[in-house]
Structure 1
Amino acid sequence: MKISRQDVEYVARLARLTLEPEELELMTGQMDAILGYVDKLNELNTDGIEPTAHAVPMANAFRADEVKASIGIERALQNAPRADGDCFKVPKVIE
């Protein structure tokens, strides 16, 4: 095995996941299979193959930046469930 149960427990703790023992075994097997597949891909000869981010050549797909008028505070807050002056009012999410 390339990955141990302790490694899976550590990753689950980092991801704030609580896994049952049977889930830990399942995840350990699945992650080992994924790492085995990646290791198999490392056997491919990639000499002379240029790394790419896309399968086909791409030019810049973004539009040019243009200065435009903003929608204004009143219109931005128009559909807000709650507002406080010129700000959106949201529930506290950090204790």
Structure 2
Amino acid sequence: MLNEIKSSSVFQGGQRQTKPMRRFLRKFSNDWSMDFSAMLAYNLLITLLPIAVALFGILGLVLKNYPATQKEVKDKIIHLFPSDNTTQTGIKQ
């Protein structure tokens, strides 16, 4: 029965039409594309921390003599986070 299905023209036509996609998926899997994309995402996420620290440090140096502007920027950053009272209290400290 399985041989009859495999030898049918509909099955063979479907195999021919899906062959490029199957080859692409096999190559995609064999090239470890998902592993490399996960590594790239992880490394980009890890590099954001030092960049953020540097930017906040520079911002602190620039706004050192402007306490009103410093408070305004701080309040805007605090309000970017969810309005959970515990989160905002922790950030304010």
Structure having greater relative contact order (Cα 8 Å, sep ≥ 6): 1
Q: Which has the higher strand share?
A: 1
Task: From the CA coordinates, give the structure whose radius of gyration is larger.
Answer: 2
TM over 0.5: no
TM superposition score normalised by structure 1: 0.27
Structure 2 length-normalised TM: 0.27
Higher helix share: 2
